[in-house]
Chain A
Amino acid sequence: MTATSAPPYAAPTVAAEAPTPPRGRRRLPFSPWHLLLLPLSLLFAVPLIWLLLSSVMSNAEINRFPPALWPSHFDFGGYRYVLGNAMFPRWFANSLIVSVATVAGNLVLGTLGGYAFARMRFTGSRLLLGMMMATMAVPFQLTMIPTFLVMKELGLIDSLGALIVPSLVTPFAVFLLRQFFLSLPRELEEAAWIDGCSRLRTLCQVVLPLSRPALSTVAVLTFLSTWNDLTWPLIAINQETQYTLQLGLTTFQGQHHTNWAAVMAGNVITVLPVLLAFLAAQKTFIQSITSSGLKG
C-alpha cells in the first residue's frame, strides 16, 4: 500500500482527467480535485509518518506480526539507546561540521571566484572559467578513485578534512554566483569605486547585500548535498569516530537489525535537520531546487 508501486498515481489521475459535467461539480461543497489530491498526498506522507511513529514504539510492538499500527504508549527507548550508547551524537557533530564548513566554503570562495569572473579582467580568465565549467559535466564516479588517491597523498583519509576539501567550492557555486553578479547593475559598484572603495569592500558592502537570493540558493543546495551524501564518506572514511550521520546510520542498521526502534530513532535524527530546515524555508528550498536544474 505504501509508495511501492507506480500505478496508483496513474489510474485515479486518468479517471479524473475526464471532464466532469459542471452540474455534478456544484453538488460538492468543495472542489472534486480534493478527492484525488488528499489520498495521493497522504500516500506520500505515510512512510514518513510511519518513521516517526515507529521511532517512539517499543521493539515488542514493532517485532510482532502484524506490528501495531499505533504505539500503545510513547516509548523513547530507541532515542535513549542511540543518544546514550551509540555514536550518534558524535556522527551528528561530524555531519554538522562538514556541512557548515562546505556551506561556508562555497559561499566565500564561490563569491570571490564568481565576482572575479563576472567583473574583473585578467589574462586567462576565459580559459580558466571554461575549464571550471567543463568539470561540471564530469560525473563524480569518474573522479572518485583519483580523488581518493589525492586525499590519501594529503593524509586526509579517515578525517573530516577528506570530506570537506573536495566540496569546499563547486563549479556550480562559482557559476551561479557569476551569473547573478552579471545581472546586477554595474553603476552601483562604479559609484563605490569612485568613492574610493577597494574591490573587496565593494563586493562586501554593495554587491553581497543585493545577492541574498543567489547566496541562499548556493547555501541550500550545498547543505542538502553535503548532509545527504553517502558515497564519498563511504569511500573516504573507515574509522567509526569520523563517520557522518548517513554513513553511521547505514552501518548502525547493519549491526542492529533487530533493534528497529533504535534504528528508526537514529533515522529520525538523521533526517530531522533537513526536514526542519525545509519546513522553515520551504519557498527558498523549492525555488533553489527548481532553478538549479533549469539553469544547468
Chain B
Amino acid sequence: MSRLPSPITIERPHPDRRRRKRRSEAATAWTFAAPSAVIILGLGVVPVVWSLLLSFQANNLVTPSHWTGLDNYRALAEDPRFSEAVRNTLLYVVLYVPLSMVAGLMLAHALNRRIRLVGLYRTLIFVPFVISATAQGVLFSFILDPDFGAANAVLHHLGISSQGFLTDPSQALLVLVAITLWSGTGFCLVVYLAALQDVPQSLIEAAILDGANRRQVLRYVTLPTLSPVSVFLVLWQTINALQVFDLVYVTTKGGPLGSTTVIVYFIWEQAFKNGAAGYGAAAAYVLAVVLGLTAAILRIVRRRERRSLEGATA
C-alpha cells in the first residue's frame, strides 16, 4: 500500500525571533553602509556648510579666523580680477561647448557607417580624452613653444610668421580652447555615436519608404532623436568647462596678463596662494550657484522635451 505524503508543517517563527532577525539585518546593513556614509557625508556635506561659514570670514588657513559678514561677497563684486575671471570662463565655455558638440556630432555621423578602419579612426580621435590635462598641457607648451616649438616650425614652412600662442594675451585663451577641443571632442563623438547607433532602423526605413532622401532622413529623423543626448552633452560639457583648472595651471598659470585666469584658477590662487581662504570660499560659492543654475535650467529643458516627445508618440 502506498503511503500518502504527510503534509509538511513549518513552525511559525516566534515573533520575538523575527524581530531579533530584523534587528540583526539592520545591524548588518549599517555595517555595510557606514564606511561610505561616513566618508561621503563627512567630506561631502560637512564641507558645504563649512565653506559657507568660511565665506563670511577672513581666514588664511593658518591663524584663527574672524567674522566679516558679507565683506567677501561685496569685495568679489568689485574685484576687477574676479570679473575678468568670470568673463574668461564664459568665453571659454561659449567657444568650447558648441564647437566640441558640433565637431563630435559631425565626426559621429561620418563614423556611423560600415567602412573599413572605422574602429581605428574612432580610437585615434578618442584617445586624447584619456590623457590627463597635465600631460596635455606639458605636451602643448612644448609643441607651441614660440621659439623652438614644432607648430611655429610648420608655420615657418608655410611662410607664416611665428606666433606667440600661449604667451600672447590675445591668443592664449583661444589656444586653450583648441587644446581642450583636441582632447574633449572624442567624448562628444562616442556619446553621439552610441546614440546614433540606437536610432531605430525601422524609423529610418519608414521615412525612406515615404520618399525621404538621405538629407531629409538626417534632418527629420536622426537629429530629433538625438536631442535628449544633446541636452545631456550641453549640461555635461558646460559643467566641465566651467571647472577648467588643471590645463590652465600647467600651461599659463592664468597669464599672460590675466588673459587665461578662469574662475577655479582664481579660487585656487586666493585660497592656497594668497592665503585668503574666506575670499576663495566666497568665489567658490558663486561658481557653485552658477553650476547649480545651469543644471536646473537644463533639467527643465530636458523634462519639457521628454514631455513633448511623449506627446508626439502618444
21 A-B Cβ contacts within 8 A? A30-B116, A44-B128, A45-B127, A48-B127, A65-B148, A65-B153, A66-B157, A112-B36, A116-B33, A128-B37, A135-B45, A143-B51, A145-B277, A146-B50, A165-B39, A169-B35, A169-B39, A170-B40, A274-B131, A289-B129, A289-B190
Whether A5 and B250, one on each chain, are in contact in the complex, defined by CB atoms closer than 8 angstroms, is no
With contacts A67-B153, A146-B51, A147-B47 known, is A47 near B143, CB below 8 A? yes
A270's partner among B30, B61, B134, B149 (CB-CB below 8 A) is B134
Q: Per-residue 0/1 for A38-68: is the Cβ within 8 Å of any B Cβ (1 yes, 0 no)?
A: 1011101101101100100000001111110
Question: With the chains together, A222 CA to B149 CA distance in Å?
Answer: 34
B2 → chain A closest CB, angstroms: 30
A241 contacts the other chain (Cβ, under 8 Å)? no
B263 → chain A closest CB, angstroms: 8
A246 contacts the other chain (Cβ, under 8 Å)? yes
B73 contacts the other chain (Cβ, under 8 Å)? no
B82 contacts the other chain (Cβ, under 8 Å)? no
Interface, chain B (partner A; CB < 8 A) = 25-26, 28-30, 32-33, 35-37, 39-48, 50-51, 54, 61, 99, 102-103, 106-107, 110-111, 113, 115-118, 120-121, 123-135, 137-144, 147-158, 165, 174-175, 177-179, 181-182, 185-187, 190-191, 194, 213-215, 229, 232-233, 236, 239, 243, 245-246, 249-250, 264, 267-268, 271-272, 277, 280-281, 284-285, 287-288, 291-292, 295
Interface, chain A (partner B; CB < 8 A) = 1-6, 9-10, 13, 16, 19, 30-31, 33-34, 36-38, 40-42, 44-45, 47-48, 50-51, 54, 62-67, 69, 109-110, 112-113, 115-117, 120-123, 125, 128, 131-132, 134-135, 137-150, 152, 165-166, 168-171, 174, 199-200, 224, 227-231, 234-235, 246-247, 249-250, 253, 260, 263-264, 267, 270-271, 274-275, 278-279, 282, 285-286, 289-290, 293-294, 296
Given contacts A19-B215, A120-B25, A270-B132, 20 further A-B contacts (CB under 8 A): A2-B182, A9-B107, A30-B115, A34-B117, A45-B124, A67-B148, A110-B36, A112-B35, A139-B243, A141-B264, A141-B267, A142-B285, A143-B48, A152-B61, A200-B28, A227-B132, A228-B131, A235-B272, A247-B134, A264-B139
Question: With the chains together, A62 CA to B143 CA distance in Å?
Answer: 11
* Inter-chain contacts of B182 with A (CB < 8 A): 2-3, 44, 47
Question: With the chains together, A33 CA to B112 CA distance in Å?
Answer: 11
With contacts A122-B26, A138-B44 known, is A234 near B249, CB below 8 A? yes
Whether A271 and B131, one on each chain, are in contact in the complex, defined by CB atoms closer than 8 angstroms, is yes
For A139, A174, A263, which residue has the most chain B Cβ atoms within 10 angstroms? A139
B124's partner among A44, A113, A231 (CB-CB below 8 A) is A44
Chain B residue nearest to A120 (CB atoms) is B29
For B99, B148, B185, which residue has the most chain A Cβ atoms within 10 angstroms? B148
Whether B32 and A143, one on each chain, are in contact in the complex, defined by CB atoms closer than 8 angstroms, is no
With contacts A66-B153, A267-B139 known, is A112 near B190, CB below 8 A? no
For A30, A149, A200, which residue has the most chain B Cβ atoms within 10 angstroms? A149
Question: With the chains together, A170 CA to B6 CA distance in Å?
Answer: 55
A293's partner among B33, B110, B232 (CB-CB below 8 A) is B232
Chain A residue nearest to B124 (CB atoms) is A41
Whether A135 and B40, one on each chain, are in contact in the complex, defined by CB atoms closer than 8 angstroms, is yes
With contacts A4-B178, A228-B132, A294-B232 known, is A37 near B142, CB below 8 A? no
Number of A-B contacts (CB under 8 A): 320
Whether A3 and B179, one on each chain, are in contact in the complex, defined by CB atoms closer than 8 angstroms, is yes
Question: With the chains together, A269 CA to B284 CA distance in Å?
Answer: 34
Whether A166 and B43, one on each chain, are in contact in the complex, defined by CB atoms closer than 8 angstroms, is yes
B111's partner among A37, A145, A146, A293 (CB-CB below 8 A) is A37
With contacts A145-B54, A271-B132, A286-B190 known, is A263 near B40, CB below 8 A? no
A152 → chain B closest CB, angstroms: 8
Whether B44 and A113, one on each chain, are in contact in the complex, defined by CB atoms closer than 8 angstroms, is no
Whether A275 and B41, one on each chain, are in contact in the complex, defined by CB atoms closer than 8 angstroms, is no
Chain A residue nearest to B98 (CB atoms) is A6
B138's partner among A249, A279, A293 (CB-CB below 8 A) is A249
For B99, B127, B138, which residue has the most chain A Cβ atoms within 10 angstroms? B138
With contacts A113-B35, A250-B138 known, is A135 near B44, CB below 8 A? yes
A8 → chain B closest CB, angstroms: 10
With contacts A146-B54, A289-B190 known, is A120 near B32, CB below 8 A? yes
* Inter-chain contacts of B28 with A (CB < 8 A): 120, 199-200
A123's partner among B26, B42, B138, B277 (CB-CB below 8 A) is B26
